[in-house]
A and B are shown apart, each in its own frame.
Chain A
Amino acid sequence: DIQMTQSPSSLSASVGDRVTITCRASQAIKNYLAWFQQKPGEAPKSLIYGTIYLQSGVPSRFSGSGSGTDFTLTISSLQPEDFATYYCQQCDAYPFTFGGGTRVEIK
């Protein structure tokens, strides 16, 4: 199975900060990388698919990049509603696997 490693596992940031979350795959996954946001008690929400494509309705402050094994989710200017846990997922090879999550907390 492909292992997905996210870093950091948690971070503290202030409103307006630029935040970067990294996801590393144990083998190359082409561009089949998605990002999700989850708030406590809620279902996940899709942010990005295919490494770089924003889901409809997702603010443009979110962006994705990367290739091969190393991928990044960037929030250009953190907003109060962005405090949540973020997960990456590879959809290149079964079983599709998620990263362990990155919790973004208020500093």
Chain B
Amino acid sequence: EVQLVESGGGLVQPGGSLRLSCAASGFTVSTYTMTWVRQAPGKGLEWVANIKEDGSDKYYVDSVKGRFTISRDNAKNSLYLQMNNLRAEDTAVYYCGRGTAVAVWGQGTTVTVSS
């Protein structure tokens, strides 16, 4: 069964860091573009970042450039999102997904940035 399971969310103070993980099963992450999407409380979906199949190309929404880093560990078949210098506006449920137009979604992990 194809599945994505996120972890690593939590409560963090403004300016702090978190690393989100997304463990894949049933397929190999290195053969797909992988994506992070977030959803602030009561709001719509926002595309955050993706990483191409070969890992050489990474793209980010402007609001996270320079603060967030997407990466992949092929040996662990996992996707990551390193989030630094977090702001209140980064508070959201973060979903990982398979594909450019995400076809497979994880269940999400909640990040709350608050003092």
Contact = CB atoms under 8 A, between A and B. Distances in A.
Real binding pair: yes
25 contacts: A1-B62, A32-B101, A34-B102, A36-B45, A36-B102, A43-B95, A43-B105, A43-B106, A43-B107, A43-B108, A44-B95, A46-B101, A46-B105, A49-B99, A49-B103, A89-B45, A89-B101, A91-B100, A91-B101, A95-B60, A98-B47, A99-B44, A100-B44, A101-B44, A101-B45
B88 interface: no
Contact of A87 (B44, B50, B95, B103): B44
Contacts of B108: 43
Nearest to B60: A95
A98 B38 CA distance: 11
A5 to B, nearest CB: 12
B27 interface: no
Interface residues of B, number: 21
B105 to A, nearest CB: 4
A34 B101 contact: yes
A98 B62 contact: no
Interface of B: 37, 44-47, 50, 59-62, 95, 99-108
Nearest to A42: B107
A39 interface: no
Contacts of A46: 101-105
Interface residues of A, number: 23
Given A43-B95, A95-B59, A95-B61, A55 B45 contact: no
A89 B47 contact: yes
Nearest to B96: A43
A64 to B, nearest CB: 12
Given A44-B95, A49-B101, A87 B45 contact: yes
Nearest to A49: B101
B59 A94 contact: yes
A106 B45 CA distance: 23
Contacts of B47: 89, 95-98
B99 to A, nearest CB: 8
